[in-house]
Amino acid sequence: MLKIAILSGKGGTGKTMLSAALADILPVKRIIADADVDAANLSILLEAKDTTSKPYFGLPCAVIDPDLCTGCGICAEACRFNAIIPNGDVYTVRPIKCEGCNVCVYVCPAEAASLVMKENGTLYLSQTPSGVLSHAELFAGSGTSGLLVTEVKKQAEANSEDSEVLIIDGPPGIGCPLIATVSGVDLVIIVAEPSLSSLHDIERLVTVCRQFNPVMTGVINKYDLSPETTEQIEKWYRQEDISIIGKIPFDSEVLTSVRNCLPVTRQQSPASDAIRAIAGKVKDYLDEHE
């Protein structure tokens, strides 16, 4: 099974719009994953239903047994994250601050501190008209987004059956979620918009992606809003030896589709036509590497 990630280096470029459209029209059996666990929304565009869920346990968290705590405060002094605070005559742990480093367990003379696995989010598996979708929700304040992205990908692969391709809607930025997304991916589709901030972000994105050696291709969304900046991005793609597989025009029908919670390819429009041409090139890549 080939794995394709749609990435952008930033939010708001049209990455999820393109991911939903490709999932909607690629003429192969596919499994889909939403790797933006901090703000997953691909399920909205793909009309997810029959959703099942299970808890996600990330890093461990310290707890202090109040019946064993003597109130000596040694654990609070040793905690560099300020996660342990007094609570009456004893001490307690603030889970949102705890990094699970185990220092409190090590220093507690009364053996009142211990580590337990903390629920950090929820994994979902949904049925959509475009295929099975693996997605997740990370709880606010949890710092294990990269680990959760890995679980989303594992769940997708475990439910892929005879799928020919895994389509991954990637996260914004270049941090841990991006690294977890691009690891093991065959093809990266980079979505840029005609702005200098987008150009800056895809430069950083490509630097990270090259460490994993996927094939990289480029798409420019809303390219006609700033022809000069589009030309700069095209020039940069050429300098980096990244082929451009499509340019999507600004199209008000895209906003209409999003408002109706549907992929833009469900109707005819200039953007839809451009995405269909991109899908054709992606299909050519799949045929060459099957």
pTM above 0.85, yes or no: yes
pLDDT tens-digit series, residues 142-157: 878 899 999 999 999 9
Count the neighbouring beta carbons within 10 Å of the beta carbon of residue 126. Answer: 21
Position 182 scores a pLDDT of: 96
Residue among 19, 10, 12, 5 at smallest CA distance from 175: 10
Tokens 């200098």, residue located: 196
**Distance from first CA to last CA of the chain, Å, rounded?**
8
Low-confidence ranges of the chain (pLDDT < 50): none
Q: Give the per-residue pLDDT at 136.
A: 96
- Residue 168: predicted pLDDT: 97
Q: Could you give all domains of the chain from N- to C-terminal order, each with its CATH number? A: 2-47+129-288 (3.40.50.300), 58-119 (3.30.70.20)
> Can you tell me the distance from the alpha carbon of 28 to that of 24, in angstroms, rounded to the nearest whole number?
10
Query: What is the model's pLDDT at position 162?
Result: 87
Q: In sequence order, what are the residues at sequence separation of 6 or more whose Cβ sits closer than 8 angstroms to the Cβ of residue 278? A: 18, 22, 189, 219, 245, 246, 248
The pLDDT, as a whole number, for residue 12 is 86
Nearest to 185 by CA among 104, 106, 110, 289: 289
